[in-house]
Amino acid sequence: MTSDATQPAPAPADSERGVRSAVVTGASTGIGEATVRALAAQGWRVFAVARRAERLERLAEETGAIPFPADIVEDDDVARLVAEVESRGGIDTLVNIAGGARGTDWVAEAKTEDWEWMLRVNVVGTMKITRAFLPMLRAHGRGTVLNLTSVAGLVSYEGGGGYNAAKFAEHGMTRALRLEEAEHNVRVIEVMPGLVKTEEFSLMRLGGNAEAAEKVYEGVEEPLTAEDVADVVRYAVTVPHHVNLDDIVIRPVAQAAAHKLIRRG
């Protein structure tokens, strides 16, 4: 029998590992920005990643986050980010928020450029940054990847074909990643929001048409906010590491299902 002296020491609890640290993508607006604020408020060291440098600088001034302007679909940007994070001691958590939708065309009228953009940002970008950070998360011993997807990755709807395709793909990728990384003690979490009223999501999807974007939420009492979703993300990555919240669906009460949204007035 092996003596106690030769037994490997148990992995230290999360609370014994010092400051928690994360990369959060899509950090310049909406759920990504709210997630940076939520984690920073709990003392996390947060690398806030997005393309818009000015917004990141303001967020850094307000939260103490480390701003890093980058486009997650660009290999050089991802490599620079990994190098910067390594130089600052690494991370234990990757929070993939970056993504988005473009257009509401039916498949018969689909715009190729919109579909390519959605697949590139939601799927390929998430893959690239996850692939780049997995060695670091494995080496940490208790790494976490959280992917923010959507209920659009569970149920399709007319006019959502391109976004459905992207989010179904990201959902499938997330499930495969969970199976592949369990042996490395990397937990993989998926958060799937329903209707969330944010500053830019519907505005961007509808080509900048503010009136049309506002109609998306018209009559809906208390749609989710970015802060609601960020609070769920914060909880999911903060619970003890042996707890894996695999799939979290979060919707406003008014959205009982993808096909049932209560509008009043």
Q: Are 44 and 27 in contact (CB under 8 A)?
A: no
Q: Are 86 and 80 in contact (CB under 8 A)?
A: no
**pLDDT tens-place string over residues 211-221:** 776 877 788 88
Residues paired with residue 192 on neighbouring β-strands, in sequence order: 249
**pLDDT tens-place string over residues 55-107:** 999 999 999 999 999 999 999 999 999 999 999 999 999 999 999 999 999 99
**How much is the mean pLDDT over the chain?**
91
Reply yes or no on whether the pLDDT at 130 is more than 90: yes
Model pTM? 0.89
Catalytic positions are: 163
- The two beta strands, 260-261 and 255-257, are antiparallel
> Which of the residue ranges 11-15, 85-89, 125-129, 261-265 would you say has the lowest mean pLDDT?
11-15
Residues paired with residue 241 on neighbouring β-strands, in sequence order: none
**pLDDT tens-place string over residues 243-265:** 999 999 999 999 999 889 899 87
Q: Are 126 and 72 in contact (CB under 8 A)?
A: yes
User: Which residue type does 248 have?
Assistant: I
Structural domains of the chain in order of their starting residue, each with its CATH number: 18-261 (3.40.50.720)
d(C-alpha 44, C-alpha 247), whole Å: 23
Residues paired with residue 93 on neighbouring β-strands, in sequence order: 22, 144
Residues in the chain: 265
Structure tokens at 81: 């980010």
User: Which residue type does 3 have?
Assistant: S
**SS3 per residue for the chain:** CCCHHHCCCCCCCHHHCCCCEEEEECCCCHHHHHHHHHHHHCCCEEEEEECCHHHHHHHHHHHCCEEEECCCCCHHHHHHHHHHHHHCCCCCEEEECCCCCCCCCCHHHCCHHHHHHHHHHHHHHHHHHHHHHHHHHHHHCCCEEEEECCHHHCCCCCCCHHHHHHHHHHHHHHHHHHHHHHHHCCEEEEEEECCEECCCHHHHHCCCCHHHHHHCCCCCCCCEEHHHHHHHHHHHHHCCCCCCCCEEEECCCCEEECCEECCCC
| pLDDT score recorded for residue 208 | 77
